[in-house]
């Protein structure tokens, strides 16, 4: 069925990744001409204001802040990760920076061992190792740039942010989680923005607001997608983001990736593909073709 629930979920994820890729373009267009802390503060303030009406529509129990220490920690992960992301995107190509960002699910393996006492399979460990080698290929130690450190830091904060999501209380709704995380990031981001504030043009402000709106669009579409279909069936669509940023880098910034960068990206994406699901779909497709053939005969 061309418009099955799974297909709709995949389409939502692709649109979401298209949106977040455009957000990276907006950050790239800022070209480091405003303070990184200004970007973080304005983006988080915008996010809190947009989510606030949805948060207010909830019941008092749903609006409540559960596990405040965990939310404060995750809010400051956003501050650190967003700041590092801006620096990485500004000084690296979109493809290189995002290739490192996409290694976050791979970084979650050692973190899950340390923080959640999980025991990964040999297959998962081997896949993670392949992904890490891909990151090394993309960054190439012989041509290592200081901005790559910020890309790696972004990846670590993303991985920690995702891992700690498993510790969130079940009674905390998604809307409340997004609202409190945005709100709790404002005191630190506002203080830093105040000390490093520089005059901001209308164009810069619009780029920041566009970036914030596109990130919120991505978050909303991701929630909608994963509510419709199992993660194992649609997660492969997340990799479309790397394709989009690579194309945008070529079109807007003349950032043509070389063979080694493309090889590294492939090595990072490869372990993230849901091979078991793809194999099952392939087997189902073959069986369907065989039945169709037998009926025809």
In 71-134 the beta strands, taken as DSSP E runs, fall at none
* pLDDT tens-place string over residues 64-87: 999 999 999 999 999 999 999 999
The domains of the chain are located at 67-168+258-297
End-to-end CA distance of the chain: 24
Q: Look-up: residue for tokens 């700690």? A: 164
In 90-210 the beta strands, taken as DSSP E runs, fall at none
Question: pLDDT band at residue 146, thresholds of 50, 70 and 90?
Answer: confident
* pLDDT tens-place string over residues 86-136: 999 999 999 888 888 877 777 777 777 777 676 767 776 777 677 777 777
Are the C-beta atoms of residues 61 and 175 closer than 8 Å to each other?
no
Q: In angstroms, rounded to a whole number, what is the distance separating the alpha carbons of residues 201 and 206? A: 9
pTM: 0.81
* pLDDT tens-place string over residues 191-237: 999 999 988 999 999 999 999 999 989 888 887 777 677 665 666 67
| Mean pLDDT, range 177-189, rounded to an integer | 94
Q: In angstroms, rounded to a whole number, what is the distance separating the alpha carbons of residues 176 and 74? A: 13
Six token digits for residue 132: 């890490």
Grouping H, G, I as helix, E, B as strand and the rest as coil, residue 199 is: coil
Six token digits for residue 83: 């700041």
């Amino acid at each position: 069925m061309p418009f099955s629930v799974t297909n709709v979920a995949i389409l939502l994820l692709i649109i979401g990744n298209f949106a977040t890729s455009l957000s990276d373009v907006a950050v790239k267009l800022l070209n480091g001409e405003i303070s990184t802390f200004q970007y973080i503060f304005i983006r988080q303030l915008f996010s809190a204001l947009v989510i606030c009406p949805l948060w207010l529509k909830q019941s008092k129990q749903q609006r409540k802040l559960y596990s405040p220490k965990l939310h404060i920690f995750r809010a400051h992960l956003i501050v650190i990760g967003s700041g590092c992301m801006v620096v990485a995107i500004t000084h690296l190509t979109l493809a290189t920076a995002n290739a490192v960002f996409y290694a976050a699910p791979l970084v979650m393996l050692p973190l899950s061992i340390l923080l959640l006492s999980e025991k990964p399979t040999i297959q998962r460990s081997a896949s993670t190792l392949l992904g890490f080698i891909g990151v090394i290929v993309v960054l190439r130690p012989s041509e290592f740039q200081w901005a790559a450190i910020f890309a790696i830091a972004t990846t670590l904060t993303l991985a920690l942010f995702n891992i700690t999501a498993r510790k969130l209380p079940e009674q905390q709704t998604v809307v409340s989680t997004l609202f409190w995380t945005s709100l709790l990031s404002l005191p630190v981001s506002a203080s830093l923005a105040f000390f490093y504030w520089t005059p901001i043009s209308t164009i810069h402000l619009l780029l920041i607001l566009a970036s914030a709106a596109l990130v919120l669009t991505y978050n909303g579409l991701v929630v909608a997608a994963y509510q419709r279909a199992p993660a194992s069936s649609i997660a492969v669509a997340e990799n479309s983001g790397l394709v989009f940023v690579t194309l945008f880098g070529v079109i807007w910034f003349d950032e043509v990736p070389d063979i080694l960068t493309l090889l590294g990206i492939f090595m990072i994406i490869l372990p993230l593909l849901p091979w078991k699901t793809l194999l099952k779909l392939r087997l189902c497709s073959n069986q369907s073709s065989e039945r169709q053939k037998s009926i025809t005969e």
